[in-house]
Chains A and B, each alone.
Chain A
Amino acid sequence: MALLEVQNLSISFGGLRAVDNFNIQIEKGQLYGLIGPNGAGKTTVFNLLTGVYKPTEGIITLDGENITGKKTIDINKAGIARTFQNIRLFKELSVLDNVKVGLHNNYHYGTISGILRLPSYSKTEKIMDEKAMELLKVFDLDKEASTLAANLPYGKQRKLEIARALATNPKLLLLDEPAAGMNPNETLELMETIHFVRDHFNMTILLIEHDMKLVSGICEELTVLNFGKVLTHGKTSDVLNDPQVITAYLGE
């Protein structure tokens, strides 16, 4: 059984069918790419998968559980975490605290314990610190743990978003244009990190990329979206050589 299975997913904004009859199947451990020209509806698919928008039609199944129409926080608890195309960090919190917010639902102590600094506070905070630092190391952010997120350079902000998403311990990680705004060197490094995350955490990753060259180096399978509709899907090399796809990208 696939980890993520989406059937006939659609949403309309007024008259615009931003996503129309979208289908996808992602197996556990896959690194899957969702590509398509600007405005094709890729981010909207992510917003549907994470409950930011409620679909007009369709069914979303995660690991056998129907999560269609659920609230964002419940979908995160069910196992989907994401990053955003326009970076959304907790800017006035430290890098470490950004990740610790991601750990929020995995480590508990009560409000009173926190205020009175009871033993459960110190114990849990210590574990959270260690866990967060571990994640920061993966993204080479451990030296900036106490920096305010807002003061990180752009490339590192994107990495911090991934670390924060991973902190929620998801089954499926959604990355929305993780390399946007990065220079070629940073991009290369990021692609390696994404590979590492997949192998190290045995993670399933669905990533949106606008740039086809990037995608070819990293994704095993692709789905191409154009004007809200699935144009084609399959093995990366096959898809990228598909004349239909080339036309869609170059424009008619």
Chain B
Amino acid sequence: MKMKELNKTTKSNLITYALVIITYIIVQIILESGHMSSLMEGLLVPLCTYVILAVSLNLTVGILGELSLGHAGFMCVGAFSSAFFSKCTAELLPSGLRFFLAILIGAAVAALFGMLVGIPVLRLKGDYLAIVTLAFGEIIKNLVNVLYIGIDENGMHFSTKDSISLGLQPGGKTIINGAQGISGTPNDSTFTIGIILVLITLFIVLNLVHSRDGRAIMAIRDNRIAAESVGINITKYKLMAFTISAALAGVAGVLYAHNLSTLTALPKNFGYNMSITILVFVVLGGIGNIRGSVIAAVVLTLLPELLRELNDYRMLIYAIVLIAMMLFNSSPKAIAFREKYSLKKLFAKKSAKEGK
């Protein structure tokens, strides 16, 4: 019995990894044969970004059971901190090492912000996380838009007014230029690195879920009072899940930032809209279902692009796919819903009644 269950989770995890790797191979073949449109090619790295975001948000929403509406905020701090680092060290470090460090920095800074938000909020008993993360996401986005940082021989200069007030010496350069953001970040992100980061994210989240700490996190989700009664430290595990979730969102930000020549914080990429889009991936992929998040992020990112030619019918088809995903996803709630309203059961009931 027990062996069977172990095999089941291992098998399920392996399927998830295989899915990603097979997709990667297929895409590589299409790329090699020159059959991929430049539009699609441009979507490859963003797709990896969205997958990492969705999987990491599912850790907070599905595994920990807390609602976060500011996931894009953690992506934003990961993006800007790492782009800042890469631009400063562009001429100093070899690109491989530089990008590796950039990923660590993006993850660490996002984790730090995750803790800063989490420590005061996750101690509270109510559902305060949603509102605080919502505010956090908006504040970060707006803050980045008025932030000016420059470097010259005297060191770093900060301003929140404009680049002239940085008072840089001749020869100094502005790294973060307010609403114009950071331009000239080295384009280190590739589809291959994106896929590797997706796999690492999956590895971390799936292995965490099926470990001692993961059990504690899910126990808190299922019943906080019972978890406390068996000696689980609620704040510690909530904070652990939330911080890891934020760090992985930071990694997504690093990937995003190093795929653009100019990084700016717009409502579109780091605002409320983005946070909600990721949440939609998580909900439609199935809350708590990691593989579902991967699939939902890919399908829902590609679909609008693929349907571009259909113009008027685009939104209609998009809506139909949303509904279909809702019906076929495998979150416990969706399963319960399906069981309640399945045709089979409805007919079974009817015939049973008739038989009586």
A residues adjacent to B (C-beta < 8 A): 50, 52, 72-73, 76-77, 81-82, 84, 88-94, 96-97, 100-102, 104-105, 107-109, 111, 114-117, 121, 124-125, 128-129, 133, 142-143, 145-146, 164-165, 167-168
Interface centre among B215, B218, B227, B228 (most CB of A within 10 A): B215
- Cβ–Cβ contact B231 & A76, under 8 A: yes
A93-B222, A101-B219 known; A72-B229 Cβ under 8 A? yes
Contact of A115 among B207, B218, B226, B228 (CB under 8 A): B207
Residues on B with beta carbons closer than 8 Å to the beta carbon of A96: 2, 5
Please give me the residue from chain B that is nearest to A84 by CB atom. B226
Asked if residues A101 and B227 are in contact (CB atoms below 8 Å), the reply is yes
- Report the bound CA distance from A102 to B226 in whole Å: 10
A125 to B210, CA, bound (A): 10
Q: Is B321 engaged at the interface, CB distance under 8 Å to the other chain?
A: no
11 A-B pairs whose Cβ atoms sit less than 8 Å apart in the complex: A50-B229, A72-B229, A73-B233, A76-B229, A91-B223, A92-B221, A93-B222, A111-B211, A116-B207, A133-B2, A167-B230
Q: How many A-B residue pairs have CB under 8 A?
A: 110
Query: What is B's interface to A at a CB cutoff of 8 Å?
Result: 1-2, 4-5, 8, 203-204, 207-208, 211-216, 218-219, 221-223, 225-234, 240, 288, 332
With A72-B228, A145-B1, A165-B229 given, name 19 new contacts (CB 8 A): A72-B229, A73-B233, A81-B230, A88-B226, A90-B218, A90-B222, A90-B226, A92-B218, A100-B212, A101-B232, A105-B231, A114-B207, A114-B211, A115-B207, A124-B212, A133-B2, A142-B1, A146-B2, A164-B226
Task: Tell me whether A168 and B231 are in contact in the complex, defined as CB-CB below 8 angstroms, given that A89-B223, A111-B240 are known contacts.
Answer: yes
Alpha-carbon separation in the docked complex, A117 to B212 (Å): 11
How many angstroms between the C-alpha atoms of A242 and B207 in the bound complex?
A: 59
Question: Do A114 and B208 touch (CB < 8 A)?
Answer: yes
* Residues of A contacting B203 in the complex (Cβ-Cβ under 8 angstroms): 115
A111 to B217, CA, bound (A): 12
Query: Which of chain B's residues have a CB closer than 8 A to the CB of A84?
Result: 225-226, 229
Find out whether the CB atom of B229 lies under 8 angstroms from the CB atom of A82.
yes
Q: Tell me, rounded to whole Å, the shortest Cβ–Cβ distance linking A139 to chain B.
A: 15
Measured between beta carbons, the chain A residues less than 8 angstroms from B231 are 73, 76-77, 104-105, 168
